[in-house]
Amino acid sequence: MKLLQTNLHEIETAAELEKMINENENVMVCCGRMGPMCMPVYDVMEELEEDRTDVKFAVMAFDNPEAAVIRNAPECRGFMGLPFTMYYKDGKVAHATSSIQNMQQITSILDEQFAVKA
């Protein structure tokens, strides 16, 4: 059952998240609600999804008990504002942010964390 009204893939279980980050080199997961701080991040992700075919984009409902895997991640300790956004590279957390992010901020994280290393 989708809890978030976005066009992005919605992860519903911790096992599904685990599978996604293990099967894809670059993954961005935004864990939030349908609130004013989260919506702009989803919009940016939807826009980027078309161009950034090297990245798997997904959302997870913050209030889903299964999202504890993100809410309680050491990288999120001390985070105050939603959404919690996790960037995974090769199955491991590469970066994490909290609160609203704009296109430029997200793009620079994607470029920095998921850059093709020569």
Residue 2 lies in a domain: no
What residues contact 73, with CB distance under 8 A and at least 6 apart?
Answer: 84, 86, 93, 96
Scan for tokens 């993954």, then name that residue: 27
Residue 108 lies in a domain: yes
Q: Which domain holds residue 59?
A: 9-112
Tokens of 83: 């959404």
CATH code: domain of residue 23: 3.40.30.10
Provide the domain count of the chain. Answer: 1
Output the pLDDT for position 38.
Answer: 97
Residue 3 lies in a domain: no
pLDDT band per the 50, 70, 90 thresholds, residue 116: low
Query: pLDDT per residue over 74-85, tens digit each?
Result: 999 999 999 999
